[in-house]
Amino acid sequence: MNVDADALTETRRDLHRHPEPAWCEFYTTARIVEELRARDVDELHVGPDALEESDEPRMSLPDQATRDEWMDRAVDAVADADLVERLDGGNTGAVAVIEQGEGPTVGLRVDIDGLPIPESDEESHAPAAAGFRSENEGYMHACGHDAHATVGLGVLDAVRHSDFSGTLKVFFQPAEERVAGGGPMSRSGHLDDVDFLYAVHIGLDHPTGEIVTGMGGFLAVSGFEVEFEGSPAHAGAHPEEGDNAIQAMAAAITNMYAIPRHADGPTRVNAGVVEGGTASNIVAAEAAMECEVRGQTTELMEYMWDETGRVVDAAADMHDVSAERSLNSRAPSAESDDELAALIGDAAGSVEGVDSIVEHDELGGSEDATFLMNRVQEQGGKACYVGLGTDHPGGHHTSEFDVDEDSLTIGVETLAGAIESLSESED
Protein backbone atom coordinates (compact mmCIF):
# COMPACT_ATOMS: atom_id res chain seq x y z
CA MET A 1 0.00 0.00 0.00
CA ASN A 2 1.00 3.43 -0.80
CA VAL A 3 0.65 5.75 2.15
CA ASP A 4 2.21 9.22 2.40
CA ALA A 5 3.50 9.20 5.95
CA ASP A 6 4.76 12.78 5.75
CA ALA A 7 1.36 14.06 4.70
CA LEU A 8 -0.27 12.21 7.58
CA THR A 9 2.17 13.74 10.02
CA GLU A 10 1.65 17.22 8.65
CA THR A 11 -2.15 16.95 8.86
CA ARG A 12 -2.03 15.55 12.32
CA ARG A 13 0.26 18.34 13.52
CA ASP A 14 -1.94 21.04 12.07
CA LEU A 15 -4.97 19.58 13.83
CA HIS A 16 -2.91 19.18 16.99
CA ARG A 17 -2.13 22.90 16.92
CA HIS A 18 -5.85 23.69 16.86
CA PRO A 19 -7.64 21.61 19.46
CA GLU A 20 -11.28 22.59 19.89
CA PRO A 21 -13.83 21.36 22.44
CA ALA A 22 -17.04 19.49 21.67
CA TRP A 23 -19.42 21.30 19.27
CA CYS A 24 -16.75 23.94 18.66
CA GLU A 25 -14.69 21.97 16.14
CA PHE A 26 -14.96 24.85 13.65
CA TYR A 27 -11.37 25.00 12.48
CA THR A 28 -11.07 21.22 12.60
CA THR A 29 -14.14 20.61 10.48
CA ALA A 30 -13.14 23.34 8.05
CA ARG A 31 -9.69 21.89 7.69
CA ILE A 32 -11.07 18.38 7.08
CA VAL A 33 -13.58 19.72 4.57
CA GLU A 34 -10.79 21.54 2.76
CA GLU A 35 -8.87 18.28 2.51
CA LEU A 36 -11.93 16.41 1.30
CA ARG A 37 -12.79 19.04 -1.29
CA ALA A 38 -9.22 18.72 -2.58
CA ARG A 39 -9.84 15.00 -3.04
CA ASP A 40 -13.04 15.50 -4.98
CA VAL A 41 -15.02 12.91 -3.05
CA ASP A 42 -18.33 11.72 -4.47
CA GLU A 43 -20.45 13.08 -1.68
CA LEU A 44 -19.58 15.46 1.11
CA HIS A 45 -22.05 16.12 3.88
CA VAL A 46 -20.93 18.95 6.09
CA GLY A 47 -22.13 20.14 9.49
CA PRO A 48 -25.94 20.14 9.64
CA ASP A 49 -26.03 17.71 6.70
CA ALA A 50 -23.93 15.21 8.61
CA LEU A 51 -26.17 15.10 11.64
CA GLU A 52 -29.79 14.53 12.54
CA GLU A 53 -31.75 17.74 12.56
CA SER A 54 -33.33 18.31 15.94
CA ASP A 55 -35.60 20.83 17.62
CA GLU A 56 -33.87 20.15 20.88
CA PRO A 57 -30.51 21.79 21.45
CA ARG A 58 -27.63 19.36 21.21
CA MET A 59 -26.61 17.82 24.53
CA SER A 60 -23.70 19.68 26.16
CA LEU A 61 -23.84 22.49 23.61
CA PRO A 62 -21.78 25.43 24.92
CA ASP A 63 -23.50 28.78 25.08
CA GLN A 64 -23.47 31.22 22.18
CA ALA A 65 -20.75 33.43 23.65
CA THR A 66 -18.41 30.49 23.96
CA ARG A 67 -19.20 29.31 20.47
CA ASP A 68 -18.69 32.81 19.08
CA GLU A 69 -15.26 32.91 20.60
CA TRP A 70 -14.30 29.62 19.01
CA MET A 71 -15.75 30.67 15.67
CA ASP A 72 -13.67 33.85 15.76
CA ARG A 73 -10.60 31.86 16.62
CA ALA A 74 -11.25 29.43 13.76
CA VAL A 75 -11.64 32.22 11.25
CA ASP A 76 -8.46 33.83 12.56
CA ALA A 77 -6.68 30.53 11.99
CA VAL A 78 -7.76 30.87 8.36
CA ALA A 79 -10.86 28.77 8.25
CA ASP A 80 -13.58 29.56 5.71
CA ALA A 81 -15.87 32.05 7.51
CA ASP A 82 -19.04 31.07 5.66
CA LEU A 83 -18.46 27.42 6.37
CA VAL A 84 -17.74 28.12 10.02
CA GLU A 85 -21.04 29.94 10.33
CA ARG A 86 -22.90 26.92 8.93
CA LEU A 87 -21.37 24.76 11.63
CA ASP A 88 -22.68 26.83 14.50
CA GLY A 89 -25.34 25.61 16.89
CA GLY A 90 -24.07 22.08 17.36
CA ASN A 91 -23.45 21.26 13.70
CA THR A 92 -19.77 20.43 13.41
CA GLY A 93 -18.39 17.30 11.74
CA ALA A 94 -18.68 15.83 8.25
CA VAL A 95 -19.36 12.67 6.28
CA ALA A 96 -17.35 11.89 3.12
CA VAL A 97 -18.45 9.28 0.60
CA ILE A 98 -16.51 7.63 -2.21
CA GLU A 99 -18.21 5.27 -4.58
CA GLN A 100 -16.16 2.68 -6.42
CA GLY A 101 -18.61 0.39 -8.14
CA GLU A 102 -20.52 -2.63 -6.94
CA GLY A 103 -19.93 -3.91 -3.47
CA PRO A 104 -20.68 -3.36 0.13
CA THR A 105 -21.03 -0.02 1.84
CA VAL A 106 -18.34 0.26 4.44
CA GLY A 107 -18.13 2.96 7.09
CA LEU A 108 -15.23 4.27 9.12
CA ARG A 109 -15.90 6.45 12.10
CA VAL A 110 -13.32 8.79 13.58
CA ASP A 111 -13.86 11.52 16.13
CA ILE A 112 -12.36 14.98 16.01
CA ASP A 113 -12.73 17.00 19.22
CA GLY A 114 -10.16 18.12 21.76
CA LEU A 115 -10.21 18.61 25.53
CA PRO A 116 -10.10 21.49 28.01
CA ILE A 117 -6.69 20.40 29.27
CA PRO A 118 -3.62 22.67 29.11
CA GLU A 119 -0.81 21.13 27.08
CA SER A 120 2.60 20.57 28.59
CA ASP A 121 5.29 23.03 27.47
CA GLU A 122 8.20 20.90 28.65
CA GLU A 123 10.98 20.05 26.24
CA SER A 124 10.27 16.41 26.93
CA HIS A 125 6.84 16.82 25.36
CA ALA A 126 7.34 16.28 21.63
CA PRO A 127 4.71 18.75 20.37
CA ALA A 128 6.35 21.47 22.47
CA ALA A 129 9.85 20.54 21.33
CA ALA A 130 8.85 20.21 17.68
CA GLY A 131 6.75 23.33 17.57
CA PHE A 132 3.23 22.06 17.07
CA ARG A 133 1.95 22.52 20.62
CA SER A 134 -1.64 23.72 21.03
CA GLU A 135 -2.24 27.31 19.96
CA ASN A 136 -5.48 27.36 21.92
CA GLU A 137 -4.13 27.80 25.42
CA GLY A 138 -5.91 25.58 27.97
CA TYR A 139 -7.09 23.17 25.30
CA MET A 140 -5.34 20.14 23.93
CA HIS A 141 -5.70 17.05 21.81
CA ALA A 142 -5.05 14.87 24.85
CA CYS A 143 -6.88 11.81 23.60
CA GLY A 144 -5.51 11.48 20.07
CA HIS A 145 -8.53 12.62 18.09
CA ASP A 146 -6.12 14.61 15.93
CA ALA A 147 -4.64 11.27 14.95
CA HIS A 148 -8.09 9.76 14.44
CA ALA A 149 -9.15 12.44 11.98
CA THR A 150 -5.85 12.05 10.20
CA VAL A 151 -6.28 8.29 9.96
CA GLY A 152 -9.77 8.90 8.56
CA LEU A 153 -8.35 10.99 5.76
CA GLY A 154 -5.52 8.51 5.23
CA VAL A 155 -7.83 5.53 4.94
CA LEU A 156 -10.01 7.43 2.48
CA ASP A 157 -6.94 8.08 0.33
CA ALA A 158 -5.70 4.52 0.59
CA VAL A 159 -9.05 3.01 -0.32
CA ARG A 160 -9.50 5.52 -3.15
CA HIS A 161 -6.31 4.27 -4.70
CA SER A 162 -7.01 0.58 -4.11
CA ASP A 163 -9.02 -2.10 -5.84
CA PHE A 164 -11.79 -1.73 -3.31
CA SER A 165 -15.14 -2.22 -4.99
CA GLY A 166 -18.07 -0.71 -3.15
CA THR A 167 -18.82 2.46 -1.22
CA LEU A 168 -16.77 3.95 1.59
CA LYS A 169 -18.16 6.47 4.02
CA VAL A 170 -15.89 8.22 6.47
CA PHE A 171 -17.65 9.73 9.48
CA PHE A 172 -15.81 12.64 11.10
CA GLN A 173 -17.81 12.75 14.33
CA PRO A 174 -17.89 15.77 16.65
CA ALA A 175 -18.36 15.98 20.42
CA GLU A 176 -17.23 12.53 21.45
CA GLU A 177 -15.60 13.84 24.62
CA ARG A 178 -19.00 14.94 25.88
CA VAL A 179 -20.57 11.70 24.60
CA ALA A 180 -22.91 13.96 22.71
CA GLY A 181 -22.13 13.79 19.00
CA GLY A 182 -22.57 10.08 18.35
CA GLY A 183 -26.34 10.09 18.76
CA PRO A 184 -27.09 12.86 16.23
CA MET A 185 -24.66 11.41 13.69
CA SER A 186 -26.08 7.90 14.13
CA ARG A 187 -29.52 9.23 13.27
CA SER A 188 -28.40 11.30 10.28
CA GLY A 189 -29.48 8.66 7.80
CA HIS A 190 -25.93 8.21 6.54
CA LEU A 191 -25.49 5.04 8.53
CA ASP A 192 -28.63 3.40 7.26
CA ASP A 193 -27.09 1.69 4.27
CA VAL A 194 -23.79 0.84 5.88
CA ASP A 195 -23.09 -2.89 5.84
CA PHE A 196 -19.86 -2.83 7.78
CA LEU A 197 -18.61 -0.19 10.17
CA TYR A 198 -15.22 0.24 11.71
CA ALA A 199 -14.35 2.66 14.43
CA VAL A 200 -10.85 3.20 15.69
CA HIS A 201 -9.10 4.47 18.79
CA ILE A 202 -5.42 5.09 19.24
CA GLY A 203 -3.40 4.29 22.34
CA LEU A 204 -5.36 2.90 25.26
CA ASP A 205 -2.12 1.59 26.76
CA HIS A 206 -1.27 -0.54 23.73
CA PRO A 207 2.20 0.16 22.28
CA THR A 208 3.12 1.06 18.73
CA GLY A 209 2.95 -2.07 16.63
CA GLU A 210 0.05 -3.63 18.51
CA ILE A 211 -3.44 -3.91 17.05
CA VAL A 212 -6.53 -4.88 19.04
CA THR A 213 -8.78 -6.37 16.42
CA GLY A 214 -12.05 -5.97 18.29
CA MET A 215 -12.84 -4.06 21.42
CA GLY A 216 -15.87 -4.52 23.69
CA GLY A 217 -16.91 -3.77 27.21
CA PHE A 218 -18.35 -0.36 26.40
CA LEU A 219 -20.48 0.65 29.34
CA ALA A 220 -23.67 2.38 28.31
CA VAL A 221 -23.72 5.80 29.91
CA SER A 222 -25.94 8.78 30.65
CA GLY A 223 -24.43 11.96 31.98
CA PHE A 224 -26.86 14.39 33.55
CA GLU A 225 -27.16 17.35 35.76
CA VAL A 226 -29.79 18.18 38.34
CA GLU A 227 -30.74 21.63 39.55
CA PHE A 228 -32.52 21.84 42.85
CA GLU A 229 -34.42 25.01 43.60
CA GLY A 230 -35.97 25.81 46.94
CA SER A 231 -36.41 28.95 49.01
CA PRO A 232 -33.82 30.86 51.00
CA ALA A 233 -34.22 31.79 54.64
CA HIS A 234 -32.05 33.17 57.40
CA ALA A 235 -30.70 30.07 59.07
CA GLY A 236 -30.67 31.71 62.48
CA ALA A 237 -33.85 33.74 62.43
CA HIS A 238 -36.24 31.56 60.41
CA PRO A 239 -34.86 28.17 59.48
CA GLU A 240 -38.37 26.79 58.99
CA GLU A 241 -39.04 29.25 56.18
CA GLY A 242 -36.35 27.78 53.98
CA ASP A 243 -36.79 24.95 51.49
CA ASN A 244 -33.30 23.59 51.60
CA ALA A 245 -31.84 22.73 48.21
CA ILE A 246 -28.60 21.46 49.74
CA GLN A 247 -30.42 19.09 52.06
CA ALA A 248 -32.43 17.75 49.12
CA MET A 249 -29.25 17.26 47.12
CA ALA A 250 -27.56 15.45 50.00
CA ALA A 251 -30.52 13.08 50.33
CA ALA A 252 -30.46 12.46 46.58
CA ILE A 253 -26.73 11.74 46.52
CA THR A 254 -26.79 9.28 49.40
CA ASN A 255 -29.76 7.42 48.04
CA MET A 256 -28.57 7.35 44.42
CA TYR A 257 -25.47 5.45 45.45
CA ALA A 258 -27.77 3.13 47.42
CA ILE A 259 -29.79 2.00 44.39
CA PRO A 260 -29.84 -1.82 44.40
CA ARG A 261 -27.16 -3.66 42.48
CA HIS A 262 -28.60 -5.47 39.45
CA ALA A 263 -28.21 -9.20 38.95
CA ASP A 264 -27.93 -8.84 35.17
CA GLY A 265 -24.57 -7.12 35.27
CA PRO A 266 -22.44 -4.20 36.37
CA THR A 267 -23.98 -0.79 36.97
CA ARG A 268 -22.42 2.48 38.00
CA VAL A 269 -23.54 5.76 39.51
CA ASN A 270 -21.61 8.87 40.43
CA ALA A 271 -22.37 12.35 41.64
CA GLY A 272 -19.12 13.89 40.49
CA VAL A 273 -19.63 17.62 40.92
CA VAL A 274 -21.74 19.52 43.42
CA GLU A 275 -22.29 23.17 44.08
CA GLY A 276 -24.86 25.06 46.07
CA GLY A 277 -25.78 27.86 48.41
CA THR A 278 -24.58 31.38 49.02
CA ALA A 279 -23.59 31.82 52.65
CA SER A 280 -23.22 29.76 55.78
CA ASN A 281 -26.09 31.61 57.44
CA ILE A 282 -28.57 31.27 54.60
CA VAL A 283 -30.68 28.17 53.96
CA ALA A 284 -29.60 27.36 50.42
CA ALA A 285 -32.20 28.03 47.76
CA GLU A 286 -30.15 26.54 44.97
CA ALA A 287 -27.91 23.56 44.45
CA ALA A 288 -26.80 21.58 41.45
CA MET A 289 -24.94 18.39 40.74
CA GLU A 290 -23.40 16.67 37.74
CA CYS A 291 -23.86 12.94 37.71
CA GLU A 292 -23.64 9.88 35.54
CA VAL A 293 -24.99 6.37 35.45
CA ARG A 294 -23.61 3.45 33.49
CA GLY A 295 -24.50 -0.14 32.78
CA GLN A 296 -22.89 -3.09 31.09
CA THR A 297 -25.85 -3.06 28.74
CA THR A 298 -28.07 -0.26 27.60
CA GLU A 299 -30.89 -1.83 29.64
CA LEU A 300 -28.79 -1.74 32.79
CA MET A 301 -27.92 1.90 32.16
CA GLU A 302 -31.60 2.65 31.67
CA TYR A 303 -32.42 0.90 34.92
CA MET A 304 -30.00 3.25 36.67
CA TRP A 305 -31.39 6.23 34.75
CA ASP A 306 -34.92 5.43 35.87
CA GLU A 307 -33.92 4.73 39.46
CA THR A 308 -31.84 7.88 39.82
CA GLY A 309 -34.73 9.86 38.38
CA ARG A 310 -37.06 8.55 41.00
CA VAL A 311 -34.56 9.13 43.80
CA VAL A 312 -33.93 12.71 42.68
CA ASP A 313 -37.61 13.56 42.44
CA ALA A 314 -38.34 12.03 45.82
CA ALA A 315 -35.40 13.80 47.46
CA ALA A 316 -36.74 17.08 46.11
CA ASP A 317 -40.26 16.33 47.36
CA MET A 318 -38.82 15.33 50.71
CA HIS A 319 -37.43 18.83 51.23
CA ASP A 320 -40.13 20.67 49.32
CA VAL A 321 -37.88 21.89 46.55
CA SER A 322 -38.04 21.35 42.83
CA ALA A 323 -35.55 19.32 40.82
CA GLU A 324 -34.87 19.72 37.13
CA ARG A 325 -32.84 17.01 35.47
CA SER A 326 -31.21 17.43 32.08
CA LEU A 327 -29.31 14.93 30.01
CA ASN A 328 -25.78 15.95 29.07
CA SER A 329 -24.51 12.87 27.33
CA ARG A 330 -25.65 9.41 26.40
CA ALA A 331 -24.21 6.35 24.75
CA PRO A 332 -25.40 2.76 24.53
CA SER A 333 -23.22 -0.31 25.00
CA ALA A 334 -21.95 -2.28 22.05
CA GLU A 335 -19.86 -5.28 21.10
CA SER A 336 -17.55 -5.80 18.16
CA ASP A 337 -18.51 -8.44 15.61
CA ASP A 338 -15.96 -11.23 15.38
CA GLU A 339 -16.11 -11.39 11.59
CA LEU A 340 -14.93 -7.82 11.17
CA ALA A 341 -12.35 -8.23 13.91
CA ALA A 342 -10.91 -11.25 12.11
CA LEU A 343 -10.46 -9.21 8.93
CA ILE A 344 -8.51 -6.61 10.92
CA GLY A 345 -6.30 -9.37 12.26
CA ASP A 346 -5.71 -10.66 8.76
CA ALA A 347 -4.94 -7.22 7.37
CA ALA A 348 -2.65 -6.30 10.26
CA GLY A 349 -0.68 -9.47 9.73
CA SER A 350 0.79 -8.07 6.56
CA VAL A 351 1.33 -4.47 7.71
CA GLU A 352 4.90 -3.45 8.32
CA GLY A 353 5.49 -2.43 11.88
CA VAL A 354 2.76 -4.58 13.37
CA ASP A 355 4.30 -6.99 15.81
CA SER A 356 1.43 -7.89 18.08
CA ILE A 357 -2.17 -8.70 17.34
CA VAL A 358 -4.55 -8.84 20.29
CA GLU A 359 -7.94 -10.36 19.62
CA HIS A 360 -9.99 -8.65 22.26
CA ASP A 361 -9.80 -6.00 24.94
CA GLU A 362 -12.30 -4.30 27.16
CA LEU A 363 -12.67 -0.55 27.09
CA GLY A 364 -14.11 -0.30 30.60
CA GLY A 365 -15.35 3.21 29.93
CA SER A 366 -17.87 4.68 27.55
CA GLU A 367 -17.69 6.04 24.01
CA ASP A 368 -20.42 7.12 21.65
CA ALA A 369 -19.16 5.26 18.61
CA THR A 370 -21.53 2.72 20.08
CA PHE A 371 -24.47 4.73 18.71
CA LEU A 372 -23.14 4.24 15.20
CA MET A 373 -22.23 0.61 15.82
CA ASN A 374 -25.71 -0.11 17.19
CA ARG A 375 -27.34 1.62 14.25
CA VAL A 376 -25.50 -0.60 11.80
CA GLN A 377 -25.97 -3.78 13.83
CA GLU A 378 -29.68 -3.15 14.35
CA GLN A 379 -30.10 -3.12 10.58
CA GLY A 380 -28.30 -6.41 10.11
CA GLY A 381 -24.88 -4.94 9.46
CA LYS A 382 -21.72 -5.59 11.39
CA ALA A 383 -19.51 -3.28 13.38
CA CYS A 384 -16.11 -3.42 14.99
CA TYR A 385 -14.09 -1.10 17.20
CA VAL A 386 -10.37 -1.35 16.53
CA GLY A 387 -7.56 -0.50 18.90
CA LEU A 388 -4.49 1.09 17.30
CA GLY A 389 -1.49 0.83 19.57
CA THR A 390 0.83 3.80 19.97
CA ASP A 391 3.58 4.56 22.44
CA HIS A 392 2.08 7.38 24.45
CA PRO A 393 4.28 9.06 27.05
CA GLY A 394 1.47 10.39 29.23
CA GLY A 395 -1.89 8.79 29.94
CA HIS A 396 -5.01 9.78 28.04
CA HIS A 397 -6.47 13.08 29.22
CA THR A 398 -3.16 14.28 30.69
CA SER A 399 -1.02 17.23 29.67
CA GLU A 400 1.77 14.88 28.57
CA PHE A 401 -0.28 12.74 26.22
CA ASP A 402 1.17 12.35 22.74
CA VAL A 403 1.10 9.75 20.00
CA ASP A 404 3.91 8.03 18.15
CA GLU A 405 3.34 9.21 14.60
CA ASP A 406 4.60 5.92 13.22
CA SER A 407 1.32 4.43 14.27
CA LEU A 408 -0.56 6.65 11.80
CA THR A 409 0.64 4.66 8.82
CA ILE A 410 0.05 1.40 10.63
CA GLY A 411 -3.50 2.42 11.36
CA VAL A 412 -4.22 3.53 7.83
CA GLU A 413 -2.79 0.39 6.29
CA THR A 414 -4.55 -1.96 8.68
CA LEU A 415 -7.96 -0.35 8.32
CA ALA A 416 -7.66 0.12 4.57
CA GLY A 417 -6.52 -3.49 4.24
CA ALA A 418 -9.50 -4.80 6.12
CA ILE A 419 -11.87 -2.57 4.14
CA GLU A 420 -10.46 -3.76 0.87
CA SER A 421 -10.86 -7.36 1.94
CA LEU A 422 -14.55 -6.68 2.57
CA SER A 423 -15.17 -6.06 -1.12
CA GLU A 424 -13.35 -9.25 -1.90
CA SER A 425 -15.25 -11.22 0.69
CA GLU A 426 -18.47 -10.33 -1.08
CA ASP A 427 -17.31 -11.95 -4.26
Write down the least CB distance from residue 20 to a copy of itself, Å: 19
68-97 in b/e form (b: 16+ CB < 10 A) is eebbebbbebebbeebbebbbebbbbbbbb
Quick note: the x/- pattern for a copy of itself over 198-237, rule CB under 8 A, is ---------------------x-x-xxx--------xxxx
CA distance 20 to 200: 20
CA distance 193 to 2: 29
CA distance 105 to 86: 28
Determine the longest span between alpha carbons in the chain, in angstroms: 83
Give the helix/strand (H/E) hosting 406.
helix 406-425
CA distance 139 to 285: 34
Size of the site for a copy of itself (CB under 8 A): 70
Write down the least CB distance from residue 67 to a copy of itself, Å: 21
Q: Which of 130, 189, 257, 379 binds a copy of itself (CB under 8 A)?
A: 257
Q: Which of 147, 311, 340, 347 binds a copy of itself (CB under 8 A)?
A: 311
Contact call for residue 247 and a copy of itself (CB under 8 A): yes
Contact call for residue 131 and a copy of itself (CB under 8 A): no
Contact call for residue 187 and a copy of itself (CB under 8 A): no
> 14 catalytic, yes or no?
no
Contact call for residue 266 and a copy of itself (CB under 8 A): yes
Q: CA separation (Å) from 323 to 207, 256, 330?
A: 46, 14, 20
Quick note: the x/- pattern for a copy of itself over 268-287, rule CB under 8 A, is xxxxxxxxxxxxxxxxx--x
On whether 225 is known to bind a ligand per the annotation, the reply is no
Contact call for residue 242 and a copy of itself (CB under 8 A): yes
On whether 360 is known to bind a ligand per the annotation, the reply is no
Q: Which of 81, 130, 258, 425 binds a copy of itself (CB under 8 A)?
A: 258
Q: Per the residue annotation, which of 177, 195, 368, 413 is the catalytic one?
A: 177
Contact call for residue 262 and a copy of itself (CB under 8 A): yes
Q: What end-to-end distance do the CA atoms of the chain give, in Å?
A: 21
Residue 145's Cβ-side half-sphere holds a number of Cα atoms within 13 Å equal to 32
**213, 194 contact by CB (below 8 A):** no
CA distance 334 to 218: 6
> 177 catalytic, yes or no?
yes
CA distance 39 to 41: 6
Output the known binding site for Mn(2+): 143, 145, 177, 201, 397
Binding-site residue ranges: 143, 145, 177, 201, 397
Residues with catalytic roles = 111, 177
Binding site for a copy of itself (CB under 8 A): 219, 221, 223-225, 234-242, 244, 246-247, 249-251, 253-255, 257-284, 287, 290-292, 294, 303, 310-311, 313-315, 317-320, 328, 364-366
